[in-house]
A = this chain, B = another copy of it.
Amino acid sequence: MPKNAFYAQSGGVTAVINASACGVIETARKNTDKIGTVYAGRNGIIGALTEELIDTSKESDEDIAALRHTPSGAFGSCRFKLKGLEESKAEYERLIEIFKAHDIGYFFYNGGGDSADTCHKVSQLSEKMGFPIQAIHVPKTVDNDLPITDTCPGFGSVAKYIAVSTLEASYDVRSMAKTSTKIFVIEVMGRHAGWIAAAGGLVEDHDIPVLILFPEVEFDQEKFIAAVQAKVEKHDFCTIVVSEGAHWPDGKFLAEQGTRDAFGHAQLGGAAPVVANMINEALGLKFHWAVADYLQRAARHLASKTDVEQAYAMGKAAVEFAVAGDNAIMPTIDRISNNPFKWEVGKAPLSEVANVEKMMPMDFISEDGFGITDACKEYLIPLIQGEDYPPYKDGMPQYVTLKNEIIDKKLDPFEV
């Protein structure tokens, strides 16, 4: 009898994590000799612990296919980190109970670095706690910080969104600079690494003067203001892409400006208005600013085709590796060439993935610290290539909401 599978989405969701779910479920449906039902955790791993298991076999082929073009986490995700096998022993024992009760032999975990670590620990349940399970990690994170794989599904679409949005807003500012706004600041995600901010630098090749504030580069106000002034003198306007993680030499984020509201409460108001006001005070230039926030990681309407294909391929490969007997691995994207862009699916042992953070190479940042290098552009451009539009009806994208039917519980409740 084929074993059932458990699939969960973990951490911040993306425009394409459901494309990975689609890859997992569609591929499992083609391997019914090896895989029975795919159960999805309601709200991620929490759904396993609380025995809220969604029966994905109740979803039509059509709805599962629609996951490919639907952003967000269709089964719900969560931020919940399991600790070591000893520290979180109760949780791992509970997982084993759940797996036993529902005859689960495959564990597919779709997430970033922390989740890879959890997946690694689950993969060890077999050896350390005597329960046979194959655990495969499906990579996902807009932070692009998983090691070994060329990129992480989710990142390419955010990169495309930021590059296109920065270009469009910069065209707008360029039109009006003579008598109006000369400074446009856009704040982007990336608390620890500047991957997303780097994507804003792609507008440079479209004749847009742009300065980037990376988390990797300590903020130097004097140097920055001088750089802005130089751009404005030459082009009459300047676009600034600021990472939410941009910080002062002492580590304090730019967003933490000691701003207080009328009641004296500290407010964290975003880095963009701080940078915009700083430029205005120094140079007296009119500004506008935007904070893209969730818009950037949810923007399935502008997803990168490359990213969608890679996300689907990671889900598909996870199941194929599982069916072939693999455990404790993560499918990877292996880049073969830039031009034409070629890549293939590889795999990495979770022992080499867990707790390793891939930082942006310093040779991706230009010497002055405010731009990206050609090496960075060569890396980024393939990742934003191609469009993969969702279907529309009455002007709105047709995103799917699944039935998400929870199966009957067999065990006692468990406190999470």
- Could you tell me if A73 and B176 are in contact, using CB atoms closer than 8 angstroms? yes
A264-282 vs B, CB cutoff 8 Å, 1 = contact: the mask equals: 0101011011100100010
Is A297 at the interface (CB under 8 A from chain B)? yes
**Given the complex of chains A and B, what is the CA–CA distance between A71 and B171 in angstroms?**
7
**Given the complex of chains A and B, what is the CA–CA distance between A76 and B173 in angstroms?**
10
**Given the complex of chains A and B, what is the CA–CA distance between A281 and B267 in angstroms?**
11
A287-325 vs B, CB cutoff 8 Å, 1 = contact: the mask equals: 011111111011111101000000000000000000000
Q: Which residue of B lies closest to A268 (CB)?
A: B273
Q: How large is the interface on A (under 10, 10 to 19, 20 to 34, 35 or more residues)?
A: 35 or more
Q: Which residue of B lies closest to A77 (CB)?
A: B175
* Copies of this chain assembled into the complex: 2
- Could you tell me if A169 and B259 are in contact, using CB atoms closer than 8 angstroms? no
Is A337 at the interface (CB under 8 A from chain B)? no
Which of A109-117, A130-138, A143-151, A379-387 lies on the face that meets chain B?
Answer: A379-387
Nearest CB on B from A347, distance (A): 27
- Could you tell me if B395 and A295 are in contact, using CB atoms closer than 8 angstroms? no
User: Which residue of the partner chain, among B160, B269, B294, contacts A173 with CB atoms under 8 Å?
Assistant: B294
Nearest CB on B from A98, distance (A): 18
Interfacial chain B residues near A257, Cβ < 8 Å: 261-262
Interfacial chain B residues near A267, Cβ < 8 Å: 259, 269, 273, 277
User: Which residue of the partner chain, among B172, B295, B387, contacts A292 with CB atoms under 8 Å?
Assistant: B295
Q: Give 14 A-B pairs besides A167-B397, A173-B294 with Cβ atoms closer than 8 angstroms.
A: A72-B174, A72-B175, A76-B176, A79-B176, A164-B396, A164-B397, A169-B298, A258-B261, A259-B259, A259-B260, A267-B269, A289-B293, A290-B291, A386-B395
Which A residues are within 8 Å of any B CB, using their own CB? 9, 12-13, 15, 43, 46, 70-74, 76-80, 160, 163-165, 167-169, 171-176, 178-180, 184, 186, 202, 206-207, 257-262, 265, 267, 269-270, 272-274, 277, 281, 288-295, 297-302, 304, 381, 383-387, 389, 392, 394-397, 399, 401
